[in-house]
Amino acid sequence: MEKDHSAYRQTDSFLGRLSQTVHSITAQICLTVMTCTITLEVIGRYFFNSGFTWSQELCGLAFFLLVFLCQSNTWQEDRHIRMDIFYNNFSPLFRRISNFLTILCGSIFYTAIAFEGISGLEYQFHINEGTMELEWPLWPFTSLMILSCLLTLALLARFTLKKLFGKQS
């Protein structure tokens, strides 16, 4: 049985295709890094009675990238978190209201994250703020977070404008 396509999918646009590509690449890389790191950690603990001090940090950074870089496609594919048992029983009007509130809250949330990231980015860069164990600079991760939030906001805005002013089928 084939799954219905999401109403939010925007593969007719550059942003929608970019979101899918970023999701695919990020998921493959981050899940591979996390799996290999955790496997090495388990082997190290089992055979040598000692793990690696950097493994949790690396997995945390990979998870951070996975969440933020995949968020726009997760929304686009209608796989965001909600209580489907209730949502599916809503009337069409209540679903539209729920979808509108989701877009509104998501827009506020991603705008706040992007704003905070932008306001702290220069400071992180100038003091060379980094991770504890790996001593990697944090500003590249913050930059990716900001870009991801901006991509998600662009997709939310495009979808909303298309619904408000586009042709209704």
Q: φ and ψ at 137, to 5 degrees?
A: -65, 145
Angle between helices 55-76 and 14-48 (to 10 degrees): 150
pLDDT in 10s for each residue of the chain, 169 residues: 345 566 677 878 899 999 999 999 999 999 999 999 999 999 999 999 988 999 999 999 999 999 999 999 988 888 777 777 888 888 999 988 988 898 999 999 999 999 999 999 999 999 999 999 999 999 999 999 999 999 999 999 988 888 888 755 4
Instruction: Encode 73-110 in three state secondary structure.
Output: HHHHCCCCCCCHHHHCCCCHHHHHHHHHHHHHHHHHHH
